[in-house]
Amino acid sequence: MAPHSELRELLRMALRDSPPVREVGRLVEITRLIVEAYLRKRRASVSEVCTRTGLGLPDLSWDCIGDIFSMITQNRFHRLERFVEKLSPGLDEIPDRNLSIAYRAFVLRVADVHLARSFAQADPFGAHISRNIKDCVRGTKIFCLRRDYRGIALVSNVIDPLDHLPAFPRDWLERTLHSRCRPNDSTMVILNHVAAALNEQNDYRRSIPLIDLIQIVKSLQRHTAHAGTPPEEPSISFDHMTEDDLATLRLIVSEAIKEKIISLYYGKRGMEPEHVRSLLIMMGLIIDDWFEFREERSTFYEYAGRTTWYKTRTKEEYEEFWREKVEYLAKIARKTILEYLEGEL
């Protein structure tokens, strides 16, 4: 973090009509370091986003502060202006330490919003589970939501949470829930089983990171679903669309997926060119089946078998390295289609 007095001067410079590049660059770097230090403490949730999107921690840090330094009109940093306007006392009167605390809180609020948005985009199913869990927790007294070094955690609200003890083992909780939960159990029923598992023991903390519980619930649903079926997605109907409309939409979706593959996996992740080509071909085949009204294959892996690179590869390699990427890109493609059909593009 910058010295308190330096932060004040950098903010003043950034809010000028023609912000000096050097000072703005310094403020950007300070802001990025604040976010990166914060993300390093949120290991579980940040690791999940990085794994699913292929972003490294520095890239994610840059993305998180993008909204702060975006200039919408007149080459002005509007988010920074609103932050300074809400300071009480104002920028010239607020004590240095209080300014630093306020700025850090402002930056981390923006980062949290971006992180939640990134997680929702990378894993819509996980985001849906997260919302269900939060809604249930708010309507019950057995848990409370608390933010700590793990991110958001569910903490026992009816008995001592034993915060001084080691973390409750995730694998233990997962095995317990698999043995106690039945197919189609509601989120509230699952939470009751979680509470029982945590509260009936005295050796570990009576809390669980939200991100861990999301993954456990996903594993429960995968366990009870038919093996090998693709993730459930919103239905898509092209009824009443003309051939010209379909061609336009197909181009929009194809370009969106191509841009995502090139910018994310090739540009930021450094994926090998032949792997990029295989990913482009595979997604092209999936999109072709959608728009040419062919029957969709039962698993995304079957599309992988139709690409040159994959013909000599095993399903285990696909599961380990490619499945998450393909499912992520397919979700983006479907979301683009649905937004177009709803008139949002």
**Phi and psi dihedrals of 42, rounded to 5?**
-95, 65
Q: What is the DSSP track for 274-298?
A: HHHHHHHHHHHHHHHHHHTTPPPPS
**Amino acid type, 9:** E
Question: Cα–Cα–Cα angle for 165, 134, 203, nearest 5°?
Answer: 15
**Phi and psi dihedrals of 153, rounded to 5?**
-130, 150
Q: Going residue by residue through the chain, which has 345 residues, state the pLDDT in tens, using 9 for 90 and above.
A: 455 568 999 999 999 888 888 999 999 999 999 998 888 876 666 776 777 667 778 888 888 888 788 765 567 888 898 899 989 888 999 999 999 999 999 998 888 877 777 776 777 777 778 888 988 888 888 999 988 767 788 999 999 999 999 999 999 999 999 999 987 788 899 999 999 999 999 999 999 988 889 889 988 876 554 434 444 444 566 655 667 678 778 888 888 898 889 888 888 788 888 888 888 988 998 888 888 765 455 577 777 777 655 555 677 878 878 888 888 898 888 888 877 765 443
Cβ atoms of 116 and 151 closer than 8 Å: no
**Segment 255-304, tens digit of pLDDT:** 889 888 988 888 878 888 888 888 898 899 888 888 876 545 557 777 77
Helices (H), the chain: 4-14, 21-41, 43-53, 57-64, 78-85, 96-122, 124-138, 170-180, 187-199, 210-224, 243-260, 273-291, 301-304, 315-317, 323-341
How far, in Å, are 13, 184, 202, 269, 332 from residue 85 at the CA level?
15, 50, 49, 39, 37
Alpha carbons 269 and 166: distance in angstroms, whole number = 35
**Segment 52-95, tens digit of pLDDT:** 667 778 888 888 888 788 765 567 888 898 899 989 888 999 99
pLDDT score, position 27: 93
- pTM tops 0.75: no
Cβ atoms of 188 and 140 closer than 8 Å: yes
Question: Cα–Cα–Cα angle for 209, 212, 213, nearest 5°?
Answer: 90
